[in-house]
Amino acid sequence: MGRCSAALLLLCALAARGEPLFLGQVPVEVERGVALAGPLRVRLLLRPGSTGRLADLESRVRVQREEGSATVRVEGYPVGRDAAALQHSRPSFLVDYDEAEVQALRAAVIREASDHPRPEQLEAFVARYIEKKSYRRGQDPASVVARLREGDCKAHAVLLAALARMFGIPARIVVGLAMVSVDGRAVAMGHAWVEIYRDGAWRAADAIRPEKGASMLRLPLSVISDEGPGYMLSLMDALATLQDVRALSIVGAE
C-alpha cells in the first residue's frame, strides 16, 4: 500500500457513478475456482521486519504464524466474541449522534424503515444519504458527515455507527482488509466498516457495497478503541497494522 497519509490509506471501494474506485490496494492471488464466500485459507504476506500486529484477528480466529506470513482459515465474517461495553452505545467525539445534524436524520430513517430499523436498512440509508463519494473527507465526525453528505469509507462507517447507536444498536468502527471478486478478478484494499453487536457477537455492517455480481470478504484487523478528540492516534495504530501486509494469497480450505 505504500506509506501514505492516514486519510489516504483509509480510502477504499467507493461507488462513483456505479463504478468502484480503489486506493491503498494490496496485491492478491486467488486460487482458480475459489469463491470468496469460503471456507477459505487466507495467507497474509508481511513486510520484512514487520511485527505482524494481529492481536484482534487472533482473538477471533486461529492464526498460524510463519516467518514473514500469517495464515487464517475463514468461513464468512470472523465475528468478535467480546462483550459490548457502554461506550459502544454512547455518543463520542467521533460518533456524535447527540448532535443536531445526526438527530435530524431520525425522522427520515423512521419513514424509510421504522423506529426499530434493522442494520441492513441503516446500511442502505447511509449508502444513499452520502451523495458525494469523495476522497477529500476522511477524518470527519458523524455530525459533519451528516451535514456535508460527503466522504470515503470511513465517513460511511462513522455515520452508520452513529445511526446504529441512535437507534439503540451497539456499534463500533473497525479497520481491516476487504477482498472483492468480480468476474474472476480479485482485488484487496484497506477498508473501514462497522461492527454491530447482535446475538452475542460483533457482526459486520457496511454501507459500502460491491457492485452487482461481486462478492466481498472482510478481514477485521483493528477496532477503533479511542473515539475521543485524539481518535486519530487509534486510527494510526490501525493503519500501521494495514501497512504490515504487503500481499495476500487465498486458497480453498478443506
- Distance between CA atoms of residues 96 and 102, nearest Å: 8
Which amino acid appears at position 200 of this protein? Answer: G
Residue at 44 is within a domain: yes
Residues 180, 248 within the same domain: yes
Q: What is the mean pLDDT of residues 70-83?
A: 94
* Dihedral in degrees, nearest 10, Cα atoms 177, 182, 185, 187: -20
Residue at 1 is within a domain: no
**3-48 per-position pLDDT tens digit:** 232 333 333 333 333 333 334 678 888 888 887 877 899 999 998 8
Instruction: Give the lowest-confidence range in 8-12, 161-165, 219-223, 239-243.
Output: 8-12
Residue at 235 is within a domain: yes
Residues 113, 64 within the same domain: no
Could you tell me the CA-to-CA distances from 182 to 149, 194, 227, 238 in Å, in that order?
28, 23, 34, 27
Residue at 162 is within a domain: yes
Residues 159, 90 within the same domain: yes
Residues 91, 142 within the same domain: yes
Q: What is the mean pLDDT of residues 59-65?
A: 94
Residues 63, 77 within the same domain: yes
- The total number of residues written for the chain in this structure: 254
Residues 44, 152 within the same domain: no
Supply the mean pLDDT for the chain. Answer: 85
Number of domains making up the chain: 2
End of a domain among 166, 188, 222? Answer: 166
Residues 183, 223 within the same domain: yes
- Distance between CA atoms of residues 218 and 178, nearest Å: 4
Q: Which residues, 6+ apart, have CB-to-CB distance to 30 below 8 Å?
A: 36, 181, 186, 250, 251
- Distance between CA atoms of residues 95 and 134, nearest Å: 20
Residues 52, 177 within the same domain: yes
Could you tell me the CA-to-CA distances from 57 to 3, 4, 31, 222 in Å, in that order?
22, 24, 23, 8
Residues 23, 147 within the same domain: no
Could you tell me the CA-to-CA distances from 134 to 84, 153, 156, 183, 198 in Å, in that order?
31, 9, 11, 26, 31
Query: What's 113's domain CATH number?
Result: 3.10.620.30
- Distance between CA atoms of residues 106 and 114, nearest Å: 10
Q: What's the DSSP call for residue 228?
A: S
Residue at 129 is within a domain: yes
What count of other Cβ atoms lies within 10 Å of the Cβ of residue 251? Answer: 15
- Distance between CA atoms of residues 98 and 115, nearest Å: 17
Full residue range of the structural domain in which residue 191 is found: 6-82+173-252
What integer pLDDT is reported at residue 110 of this predicted model? 97
End of a domain among 105, 134, 166? Answer: 166
Beta bridge partners of 187: 180
**152-173 per-position pLDDT tens digit:** 889 999 999 999 999 999 999 9
Report residue 182: phi and psi, to 5°. Answer: -130, 120
Residues 37, 162 within the same domain: no
Q: Do the Cβ atoms of 222 and 41 come closer than 8 Å? A: no
Residues 63, 123 within the same domain: no
End of a domain among 110, 134, 166? Answer: 166
Inform me whether the pLDDT recorded for 118 exceeds 50: yes
